[in-house]
Amino acid sequence: MKLLEGKIALVTGASKGIGRKIAEKFAEQGANVAFTYLSSVEKGQALEQELQAFGTKVKGYQSDASKFDEAEHLISEIVKEFGTLDIVVNNAGITKDGLLMRMTEQNWDDVIDINLKSVFNITKAASKVMMKARRGSIINMSSVVGVQGNAGQANYAASKAGIIGFSKSVAKELGSRNIRTNVIAPGFIRTEMTDVLDPKIVEGWEANIPLKRAGETEDVANACLFLASDLSSYINGQVLSVCGGML
């Protein structure tokens, strides 16, 4: 039997990178998958068709999780379409890097809204469904930067650290209803964003990682699969770093 056979999962920000691989891994392991995308309509539609090849129900939604009303509507539509919701992966996120002295208020607000407020919005809406069912797994995507900080990323680090504090609190609130809330903190992961970087810069970063390589999106997706499945049924309120030993 597949690890997520018959489960209903939502993955936000799944049109590319880590989110795309998580959605793919979940479908491969038997989950019916709802996913969101924001601007990449063509990529979202292509992913929907691609994942249906695994034989499970898949539907993409164009939705902005940073908007409270949109998040509420999204969860309502997913329940209407799929019947319930067992797993939520809050993966949607952006970066707008810059040193504090040059960071604009807009760049701060955008990153906090999309990275952190979206997690509150989706979790609040989804938790109502999970509390009725008395089961669920919520997985929130943070970063090693949220644990140790990083120069030039004060807004991003604050949003990702906020996700950790939020998740640990929610884990204590919802645990009695058999709803688990955990965090994944990826390190340097190869995605479309990192592929455009200077190879020499990438080599320098990899040299400082104990495993001497960058992570792949599959590494994060596998950790996500573990936390979504019953294999982690007694794991709650934890931060799993997928970073090759950086931390």
Active-site residue list: 156
Alpha-carbon dihedral 195, 197, 201, 205, rounded to 10 degrees: -50
Alpha-carbon dihedral 77, 83, 87, 90, rounded to 10 degrees: 0
CB–CB of 148/98 below 8 Å? Answer: no
Closest CA to 91 of 217, 230, 231: 217
Using CA atoms, how far apart are residues 44 and 61, in angstroms rounded to an integer?
8
Q: Is 160 labeled as ligand-binding?
A: yes
Q: Is 157 labeled as ligand-binding?
A: yes
Using CA atoms, how far apart are residues 175 and 217, in angstroms rounded to an integer?
29
For 21, residues 6+ apart whose C-beta sits below 8 A from its C-beta are 217, 218, 220, 221
Q: Is 128 labeled as ligand-binding?
A: no
Q: How distant, in Å, are the alpha carbons of 127, 146, 175, 183 from that of 168? A: 15, 14, 10, 9
Using CA atoms, how far apart are residues 162 and 112, in angstroms rounded to an integer?
9
Amino acid at 97: D
Q: How many CB atoms are located within 10 Å of the residue 137 CB? A: 26
Q: Is 138 labeled as ligand-binding?
A: no
Residues linked to residue 190 through DSSP beta bridges, in sequence order:
216
Using CA atoms, how far apart are residues 45 and 15, in angstroms rounded to an integer?
9
Q: Is 39 labeled as ligand-binding?
A: no
**Binding site members for NADP(+):** 91, 156-160, 189
